[in-house]
Chain A
Amino acid sequence: MVTPVKRSMGGALLVGAFAACTPTFTDDTAIVSGPQLLAVQAVPAEAAPGASFTMTALYVGPGGTEDPSSIDWAVCLLQNPLGDPDPIAPACFVDASSSLSPLGDGASVSGSVPSNACELFGPESPPPQPGEPGARPTDPDATGGFYLPVRVKSDGDVWSAALERIACQPSGVTQPVFKAFANGYVANQNPGVASLASVASGGSTTMIAPDAPGAPPALTVSAGERTTLRVGWPSCPATPAACSGAEAYLVIDPTTKQIETGRESIVASWYATTGRFDLDRVGREGTDTATTVDNGWTAPSSPGRVRLWVVLRDARGGVGWGSYTIAVE
């Protein structure tokens, strides 16, 4: 698919104001052409310092599954420099770094959140040196979250970064706000794919069952046929509650330092071993209460079996996915 490059940002706006030509690229990141780490799910999706967590990889290849034994995991205890827009310090991607705490190899690993994670990566400052002010705490993301970085290396030298959301208490707020937040905040849950369906032009839907051992393909399409796929996730209440859909959550407004209730956005990333998607990513904003989103997929021109994955990501770092097989005739 053709991907427009326009991903503008503050300060760059005027460059594009009267630019004549913005190039397009043909990098189709939705098609799995080699061993690829598509997603990592942390359970629990949000853990307090000292708590254990498990990370599981969705590691696939053109044939569907890939041997996950080459995946190397390590917690990185380096703080990201303030001026770096990336989510993880570049120095984490050095094997010899003394700041790496290995988690092991394979598709799934377990570890624990460092007890000082909220000092290293959160709103709490470590004790200051004599005569000096304390260190600047890390700023939360727009959902109020802080994250423990996990460096992932796969297939020899392919780097990835995974994050475990840390449950830290807010700072810089009044005591009543602190208490209300601590009492009302509900830790994030990973989203889950509730359904995947094929939508006919008339609006009728055909459910597509997820992969199961020995099960035949859940959907058969003609070669070159375009199919509308609809992924759904559970509906969640409007007030904070544990839910595997777009959850409501409490967040401290950085401007007013008061509690507000937000709602997660959900983004569905689509991957397949062949064919072509209309869009790589589609989703719903937090203000959009719909629980499904559609995407077009055009089957390849030659018959065969196609593996397809849908990865759901919520705004608080939760991840869930579904794996499917489609027969092309």
Chain B
Amino acid sequence: MTALVSARSASAQLAAVPNGSSTPKLTRAPTLVHFVEAPYPASEKAAGHAATVVLELAIDATGAVTQARVTQSAGSAFDAAAEQAARQFVFDPAQIDGKPAPIRILYRYEFVLRAAVPTTAELTGQVRDARTKKPLASVRVAIQGGPTVTTDAEGRFRFEAAEPGQRTITLSGDRLTDVQTTEVLEVGRRTTVTYDVEPQDESVPADEKDDLEIVVAPPAVQKQVVSTIVSADEARTVPGTQGDVLKVVENLPGVARPAIGSGQLVVWGAAPEDTRVFLDGVPLPSLYHQGGFRSVIHSDMVESVELVPGGWGAEYGRGNGGLVGVHLRPLDPDGIHGSASADLLDASADVRAKLTDRIAVEVAGRESYLEQLLPLFTSRNIGAYVPIPRYYDAQARAVLHAAPGETIELGGLISGDSVSDDVPSDDPTNVQTQTHTTSFQRVWLRWKKQAADGAEVAVVPSFGFDSSSLVDQFGEVPTALLVDSTVGSLRASWRKQMESWVTLSVGLDAQVTRSHFSRTGSSTSPPRAGEPYVFGQPPSDETAHDDGTTISASAAPYATADFALFDGRVHLVPGLRVEPYLQTASRTAPPVGDTPAVGLFEESTVVEPRLSARWTPVHGLTWKVGWGIYHQPPAPADLSSVFGNPTLGLESAQHLLWGVEAGSPDVLSFEATAFATSSKNLAVESSLPSPLVAQSLVDTGIGRTRGIQVLLRKQLSKKFFGWLTYTLSRSERANAVGDPFSLYDYDQTHVLSAVASYDVGAGFVVGSRFRYATGYPRTPVTHAYYDVQTGLYEPFFGSLSSTRVPAFVQWDIRVAKTFAIGSASLETYLDVQNVTNRANPEEIVYSLDYAQRRYITGLPLLPVAGARLTW
């Protein structure tokens, strides 16, 4: 979806001033009955300026405006537009002493920049001579059910507000025989096409003239069979996100509510590590900072975010869960623009500038300061008891418009997190220190071009580093897990509409990840998903160490064809991805004395067919189905010869989904998708009491998820947007084929999320969010035994994942007010989470002897105030 900026007027009548009456008793104020919207001055709109013009209007006894005079100027362009519109107003006249009478009033005309999801589509393109590739002027281009335009001297044409859907395009001209093609136009999207036609040679006799050939560029949209896209303008006003656009993902269908402070993305019951995040094709290790309080990308860089919970196409791989795509917004056409915002947690800023006609740049950054703020409110060393998240991120990019239809972008970003916690104790076996730091960096180059033959080509190489460090000490028991990775990736794609009924996409998706891991401590710490544990239970005191280097490399050529059949009512999209993997581990067995390490090199090739189909029998109703096979390499630390297994193979998954879409996004749309995923070759702890050497993990695990998700959505229009999502699912795992399934750690039976936002006028926007989610499964402690050696109790567990944390229910509200300050705009907001102050259980805890069980509860009513200045 494309976020558009449009002008909107609002009025506020001020005190009426009787006009020359000696007995000015106003018995009825004039009422505006015919409003004329002023055209938003193009220059001001492009510059992102909002304004308020105050006019004095003279209204005669018939209600007509006889005079309009600016009393508070906002600049000549705004003044003229407002004055011109106001002169066309018609009022129900004022009454003085019960009779219609002339009157003067003050009228406030507000030009408010606001986001709007369009109800129309845009089609632009160029018509060229197929032989010479020269543009053809004066070609008439007609769109079915719409206007006809004529190409300019450059052969270009544009339909700014075309009706969405499959439309027939007709080209005609003096030297052309009428020719038709079809385009599928989607709401809010621009479709750019190039038509190469062969005009008739005037020197050739009419009976010898060839038939016309038409070459069209591929549709700009490549919609996944099931996905949800939210524009930045919508996402920013969702309560609970504090204006962070990407946090809206947590409220989308198919996404489980993350445990508090985890920031994990659990999609369709898959492990968070199985879901992949891409920034316009650049792989990122995470979407959020630790704790999930903020995303790692500045919101003002984002145009939209897309969640594909499963069944994605052949363009992507190396993941068995969902797919999150973050799309950067185009840079402003001119001027210097930006934003600055601050709230309780952090401050951030974004600046965009056009340096030349062809080069634009953007820089953004954010840094948390809660740690610095706390001393202002308390003298206690809070950080010694409560972990305080510390994070930063920064992004920069420069875009060169190398040629029409060709751009080169150089970008980079950094992100870092640190959370530490010290728990002092008089008992040396209970002294705890914990530090968890993560960071990553990326640089990328993105070259995109629309070729002369209409094909779209994109090449995106990227390079970066990921680092994660978890260092704990529980009494005398250490736990350390450090992973440093170097990641290089290359995505190259070529797309072209070969015929009116088929679009072909081929590409290469390659990635090399070299990781060095170091792990010290117990095999049980940190615990793996699917293993019973008790929150706060001391880790096993068995201590080992291993470090090593792994390399995972793959280069996957892929191809996808989009067949538009039966006049585009049926889209059949088969895809194929062939991915050879190379995987190395530096050690196949634990180190013994001076014995040299023996490494491991394994090669495997996987074939991943993907298929999706969409059938639109009538306008507004689409049936869809998708299927695909997916693989992902094991986590680097799982290849440890001490804690894992260097021979672990690829984990695989299969996604099957089917569903229906109905309605129109700008009015009301409904989607329902049933899904079933299965996975195998999952790394699980060996079930042997004494595992074989270098086989602490085995790849016998299997999993399955079944569910259905529904989405009822009203996209952003003049005043309101909102959606209601509900996901019913069951995610299970087993250690091996034949073993009983048990609920997976990330299973949530019911997840309901309702989001609404309403523009009440005068700069006020109010929003509300309601969430309900089943609690995560836990393995109960049935009783305990006494460890006389330590003097502590140890738990006896009941059936695996046979109890749950109670359900989460929360209602959040958000109120925002935007002020126009000259050419800038200041938004202030109050985001109140958990307005009912419900004590939501987040985790089960037990007394020291496990005789009592209670819950850690989540955040109480939490108001977060913030402000955002844009210019």
Query: Chain A 116-153, CB within 8 Å of chain B: the 1/0 string?
Result: 00000000011010001111101111110001000010
User: B5 in the interface, Cβ–Cβ < 8 Å?
Assistant: no
Chain A residues within an 8 Å CB radius of B494: none
Q: Taking the complex as formed, is A237 at the interface, i.e. its CB lies under 8 A from any CB of chain B?
A: no
A14-B419 contact, Cβ under 8 Å, with A23-B855, A86-B540: yes
A172 touching B694 by the CB < 8 A rule?
no
A117 CB → nearest B CB, Å: 14
Contact between chains at A85 and B540 (CB < 8 Å): yes
**Cβ of B41 under 8 Å from chain A:** no
Contact A19 B845 (CB under 8 A): no
Complex CA gap A86/B797 in Å reads 11
B789:A317 contact, CB within 8 angstroms:
yes
Q: Which residues of the other chain, A, contact B434 by a CB distance below 8 angstroms?
A: 8, 10, 13
Q: Are A14 and B524 in contact (CB under 8 A)?
A: no
Partner of B260, one of A6, A19, A38, A134: A19
User: Is B689 at the interface (CB under 8 A from chain A)?
Assistant: yes
Contacts A10-B479, A89-B689, A142-B543: A254 and B520 contacting too (C-beta < 8 A)?
A: yes
* Chain B residues whose C-beta falls within 8 Å of the C-beta of A128 in the assembled complex: 692
Is residue B291 contacting chain A, with contact meaning CB distance below 8 A? Answer: yes
How close is A289's CB to chain B, nearest CB, in angstroms?
13
Interface flag for B222 (CB, 8 Å): no
Inter-subunit contact B525/A139 (CB<8 Å): no
Residue of B nearest to A92 (CB): B785
Could you tell me if A254 and B545 are in contact, using CB atoms closer than 8 angstroms? yes
Q: Which residues of B contact A288 (CB under 8 A)?
A: 428
Tell me the chain A residues, 60-105 only, with Cβ under 8 Å from chain B: 78-90, 93
Q: Are B787 and A14 in contact (CB under 8 A)?
A: no
Chain A hits for B542, CB < 8 A: 138-141
Our pick among A8, A89, A152, A311 for the contact of B791 (Cβ within 8 Å) is: A311
**Chain A residues within 8 Å of chain B by Cβ, number:** 90
Is A230 close to B, CB under 8 A? no
Choose among B476, B593, B793, B857 the residue that contacts A173 (Cβ–Cβ < 8 A).
Answer: B593
Which residues on the A side are within 8 Å of B174 (C-beta)? none
Roughly how many angstroms separate A158 CA and B787 CA in the complex, as a whole number?
Answer: 12
B565 within 8 A of A: no
Provide the bound-state CA to CA distance between A282 and B428, in Å: 7
Report whether A313 and B479 are in contact in the complex, using a CB–CB cutoff of 8 Å. no
A329: interface (CB < 8 Å): no
Which B residue's beta carbon lies closest to that of A175?
A: B593
Q: Are A152 and B788 in contact (CB under 8 A)?
A: yes
**Smallest Cβ distance from B232 to chain A, in angstroms?**
26
> Is the CB of B795 closer than 8 A to any CB of chain A?
yes
B100-108, B321-329, B528-536, B618-626 - interface stretch: B528-536
With A and B bound together, what is the CA distance between A220 and B719 in angstroms?
79
* B residues in contact with A143, CB < 8 Å: 476
Tell me, in angstroms, the Cα distance from A87 to B538 when the chains sit together: 11
A81, A126, A136: the one contacting B695 at CB < 8 Å is A136
- Closest residue on chain B to residue A171 by CB atoms: B592
Are B847 and A13 within 8 A (Cβ)?
no
Interchain CB contact under 8 A, B536 and A140: no
Interface centre among B430, B475, B522, B690 (most CB of A within 10 A): B690
When C-beta atoms are compared, the residue in chain A nearest to B540 turns out to be A85
Interchain nearest-CB distance for A159 vs B (Å):
4
Contact check, B693 vs A281: say whether CB atoms are below 8 A apart.
Answer: no
- Could you mark each residue 5-44 of chain A with 1 if its beta carbon is under 8 Å from any beta carbon of chain B, else 0? 1111111111111111111010101000000011110000
Measured CB to CB, the nearest residue on chain A to B852 is A25
A27 touches which one: B427, B432, B535, B848 (CB < 8 A)?
B848
- Contact stretch, chosen from A160-168, A206-214, A297-305: A160-168
Q: Is the CB of B428 within 8 A of A174?
A: no
Question: What's the least CB distance linking A250 to chain B, in Å?
Answer: 15
Contact of A162 among B536, B788, B855 (CB under 8 A): B788
Asked whether A204 is an interface residue with its Cβ less than 8 Å from the other chain, the reply is no
B358 to chain A, nearest CB (A): 45
Report which of A19, A133, A266, A269 forms a contact with B694, defined as CB distance below 8 A: A133
Give, as a whole number of angstroms, the nearest-CB distance from B812 to chain A.
15
A308 at the interface (CB under 8 A from B): no
> With A17-B389, A29-B848, A159-B785 as given contacts, are A84 and B524 in contact (CB-CB < 8 Å)?
yes
Centre residue among B475, B842, B856 by max chain A CB count within 10 A = B856
Query: Is B33 positioned at the interface, with any CB of A under 8 Å from its CB?
Result: no
Q: Tell me if A306 counts as interface (CB < 8 A to partner B).
A: no
Mark interface residues in B415-453 (1 if CB within 8 Å of A CB, else 0): 000010101001111111010100000000000000000
User: B13 an interface residue at 8 Å Cβ cutoff?
Assistant: no
What count of chain B residues pass the 8 Å CB interface test?
102
Is the beta-carbon distance between B849 and A8 smaller than 8 angstroms? no
Whether A3 touches B431, Cβ cut-off 8 Å, given contacts A9-B536, A17-B387, A133-B695, is: no
- Residue among B432, B477, B545, B790 having the largest count of chain A Cβ atoms under 10 Å: B790
B118 within 8 A of A: no
- For the complex, is B728 an interface residue (Cβ under 8 Å from A)? no
Please state if B476 and A286 are interface contacts (CB–CB under 8 Å).
yes
Q: Are A39 and B538 neighbours in the complex by a CB distance under 8 Å?
A: no
- Nearest-neighbor residue (CB-CB) of A58 within chain B: B788
Q: Main secondary structure on chain A at its contact with chain B?
A: loop
Binary flags per residue of B667-705, CB closer than 8 Å to A gives 1, else 0: 000000000000000000111111111111000000000
* Contacting residues of chain B (568-610) with chain A, CB-CB under 8 angstroms: 589-594
B411 contacts A by Cβ under 8 Å: no
What residue of chain B has the Cβ atom nearest to residue A80's Cβ? B689
Q: Which residues from chain A contact B594 at a C-beta distance below 8 Å?
A: 174
> Does A320 count as interface, using CB distance less than 8 angstroms?
no
Residues of A within 8 A of B522 (CB): 85, 139
Given A10-B526, A133-B695, A134-B693, also A163-B789 (CB < 8 A): yes
The answer on a CB contact under 8 Å between B524 and A136 is no
Q: Given A85-B524, A93-B796, A254 and B259 touching (CB < 8 A)?
A: no
Closest to A9 in B: B539
Q: Is the CB of B260 within 8 A of A15?
A: yes
Nearest CB in chain A: distance from B535 CB, A: 5
- The answer to the question of B194 belonging to the interface, with a C-beta cut-off of 8 Å to chain A, is no
Q: Which residues of B contact A79 (CB under 8 A)?
A: 689-690
What residue of chain A has the Cβ atom nearest to residue B471's Cβ? A10
Question: How close is A2's CB to chain B, nearest CB, in angstroms?
Answer: 11
B-side contacts of A135, CB under 8 Å: 688, 690-693
B541 at the interface (CB under 8 A from A): yes
Asked whether, in the complex, the Cβ of B421 is within 8 Å of the Cβ of A85, the reply is no
**A257 at interface (Cβ–Cβ under 8 A)?**
yes
The answer to whether B692 touches A133 (Cβ under 8 A) is: yes
| CA–CA, A21 and B848, complex, Å | 18
Residues of B within 8 A of A140 (CB): 542-543
Complex Cα distance, B525 from A93, in Å, reads 24
A231 within 8 A of B: no
Contact across chains for B789 and A313 when beta carbons are under 8 A apart: yes
B376 sits at the interface (CB 8 A): no
Which chain B residue lies CB-closest to A318? B789
Q: How far is B693's CA from A133's CA once the two chains are assembled, in angstroms?
A: 6
By the criterion CB–CB under 8 Å, are B525 and A10 in contact?
A: yes
Question: Provided the pairs A16-B386, A265-B428 are in contact, do residues A8 and B536 lie with their beta carbons within 8 angstroms?
Answer: yes
A141/B543 in contact, CB under 8 A: yes
Chain B residues with Cβ below 8 Å from A171 are 592
Closest 8 A/B residue pairs (Cβ): A11-B526, A25-B847, A159-B785, A254-B545, A7-B536, A139-B542, A83-B685, A23-B854
Binding site for B on A (CB under 8 A): 3, 5-23, 25, 27, 29, 37-40, 78-90, 93, 125-126, 128, 132-136, 138-143, 147, 152, 158-163, 171-175, 254-255, 257, 265-267, 269, 279-286, 288, 293, 311, 313, 315, 317, 319
Query: What are some 9 contacts across the A-B interface (CB < 8 A)?
Result: A9-B537, A11-B526, A13-B434, A15-B262, A19-B858, A82-B691, A126-B690, A138-B690, A139-B544
User: Using a CB–CB distance below 8 Å, which chain B residues touch chain A?
Assistant: 259-263, 290-291, 386-389, 419, 421, 423, 426-432, 434, 436, 470, 472, 474-479, 481, 520-528, 531, 533, 535-545, 547, 589-594, 685-696, 785-791, 793-797, 839, 842-843, 845-849, 851-852, 854-860
Instruction: Using A82-B686, A160-B786 as known contacts, list a sample of 4 further A-B pairs with CB atoms less than 8 Å apart, ordered by residue number in A.
Output: A5-B846, A18-B260, A85-B538, A311-B791
